[in-house]
Structure 1
């Protein structure tokens, strides 16, 4: 059966069992990935992501509150102040046309 040709042209070597004595690199990687430093780093990264998510959520809520408050309270005030200024300008223009001294 070994004389049969395979498609692809390249045959890969058989994989070794990482638990057996022949897999030195795999056992080093598994020991490193299971070490306490790596697990603490992973936990710190998860905690940082959790805090960042909460911070973004609360910042978004604060921005929503500030934006809607501005639209409800400040924009009408600005519009009313502009109307008042236009009315004062119109009264001043009429007074100068009629010849009355400005106030």
Structure 2
């Protein structure tokens, strides 16, 4: 009745009639098989597969674009921001020294 048990596993009962035969199960599997083999379901599966493929490609290309934009920002923009900050600090230091020495600052009259 039960299939041979494997070590550490659970044994399940053998299927007596894999075709369905007579009984309540036959009508249910017939309807399910007719629905699953219908052209509408096949078209839906194909559409879902196509949508998944397009989504995968879109995410892959978006990731590549994000990588390119991120590395470009790090290479070009971050050093520019650092240099502008350094220049601003240098200007502030010059203004502070000029005010301490009592000389007019460059650009002030």
Question: What's the TM-score once normalised by structure 1's chain length?
Answer: 0.81
The residue correspondences of 1:1-103 to structure 2 (distance < 5 A) are: 14-15=16-17, 17-18=19-20, 20=21, 22=23, 23-102=26-105, 103=108
- Runs of 5+ consecutive residues of structure 1 not aligned to the other structure: 1-10
The ranges of structure 1 where at least 4 consecutive aligned residues each deviate by more than 3 angstroms after the TM superposition are 11-16
Provide Cα deviations, 1:33-77, integer angstroms capped at 9, x if missing partner. Answer: 000000000000000000000000000000000000000000000
Tell me the number of residue pairs that the alignment of Structure 1 and Structure 2 aligns: 92
Question: What's the TM-score once normalised by structure 2's chain length?
Answer: 0.77
Alpha-carbon separation, structure 2, partners of 1:67 and 1:87: 29
- Displacement of 1:16 after TM fit? 6.1
SS at 1:101's partner residue? Answer: coil
Alpha-carbon separation, structure 2, partners of 1:45 and 1:13: 33
RMSD: 1.9
Alpha-carbon separation, structure 2, partners of 1:32 and 1:25: 11
